Amino acid sequence: MNVRASLVIVLLAALAAGTAVVLIGSGDFSMTPGEVVTTLFGHGTFQQEFIVTDLRLPRVLVGLLVGAALGVGGAVFQTISRNPLGSPDVLGFGQGATVGALTVIVLFQGGAAAVAGGAVAGGLLTGVAVYVLAWKRGVHGFRLVLVGIGAAAMLTAATQYLITKANLVDATRAVVWMTGSLDGRDWAQVWPLLVVCGVLLPLVFAHGPALRVMEMGDDAAYALGVRVERTRLVLMGSAVLLVAVATAAAGPIAFVSLSAPQLARRLTRSTGPNLVAATFMGAALLLVADWVSMEAFGDRQLPVGVVTGVLGGCYLLWLLVSERRAGRI
């Protein structure tokens, strides 16, 4: 048992839980953490129970689940590609979900459920296309990253084209969705996320030991009894679906899947994919960013995607500089 990694996981879980309580208590009708906890256990007033259960708790749960899904999805792809830049943001899966959602908004004027379905379909189709194009006697990390970057560029162009073809109302709706936000989230977004995460996260964790062996290369993994292609296909499919469903629920939240696994690895100082730590790191990062977006700019509340984009962009620049100095890029 890695004591440091276990301690980091506990602290990240405590940070996510504490930030969740603070977020639930924040707003025009403020509540102390004690009142929030009391209300969650069913001992609040009628007004407190309505505000917590119907208005604020769904938003926080969506943030927790989306952050966890993005964190573990990023950890899977960075491990499979053996590249710290091999996250869903870079490989085009988030852009695929965006194109799917915008197609429904611009061409079909679909409602919220249809937009979410389009985002999931777009992410899954992008995952299949990238996997097929990167296949050549197996899927290798360097080829996966190159194909993913190309797919991301093409999908970004498709997004811009769809916006230029939209009328003013649909274009405004599309841009708002593309920003990434937790505003207005309710139980209709919580339950699908909860079901998908409840099924796929244990599946990914169960393949964690095999994923750790695969970091040594396909030949070593084959020699140690790992069914490499089957394991890679299961993990990539699970990660793509997690990212697609997270994007469908909250829009494209930038850079969480890139930074959460790397920050988790640096805190735990542990080798391997650090799946559990990356999961809690993603959840904590997204909730902290949401709190910053609500409190740091006065009355002008920003979408959480803006905050994660700024912080993640700074982290990406630092990562590129450090990788260049280390001679890995």
Whether the predicted pLDDT of 110 surpasses 80: no
pLDDT of 14 strictly over 70? yes
327 has pLDDT over 70: no
The first and second tokens of residue 125, run together, are: 């189709």
At 282, is the pLDDT very low, low, confident or very high (cuts 50, 70, 90)?
very high
Mean pLDDT throughout 84-113?
83
pLDDT confidence of residue 109: 78
Token pair, residue 304, equals 């959480």
- Look at residues 303, 315, 306, 291 and name the one whose alpha carbon lies nearest to residue 74: 315
Q: Is the pLDDT of residue 74 over 70?
A: yes
Judged against a pLDDT cut of 80, whether residue 126 lies above it is answered with yes
Q: Is the pLDDT score of 309 beyond 90?
A: no
Is residue 159 within 8 A of residue 100, CB to CB? The reply is no
pLDDT tops 70 at residue 138 = no
Query: What mean pLDDT comes out for the span 283-305?
Result: 82
- Check residue 9 and give its pLDDT: 92
Residue 298 has pLDDT above 90, yes or no: no
pLDDT given for residue 66 in this prediction:
93
Most confident of 172-176, 198-202, 248-252: 198-202
End-to-end CA distance of the chain: give it in Å, rounded: 33
216-259 pLDDT, tens per residue? 777 777 787 778 778 888 888 899 899 989 988 888 888 888 88
Q: 141 or 219, which is more confident?
A: 219
Is the pLDDT assigned to residue 170 strictly greater than 90? Answer: no
The chain-wide mean pLDDT, for the chain, equals 84
**Is 51 within 8 Å of 40 (Cβ atoms)?**
no
> How many whole angstroms separate alpha carbon 231 and alpha carbon 142?
18
> CA–CA separation, 250 vs 242, rounded Å?
12
Task: Identify the pLDDT of residue 223.
Answer: 81
Q: What is the pTM of this model?
A: 0.89
pLDDT reported for residue 284: 92
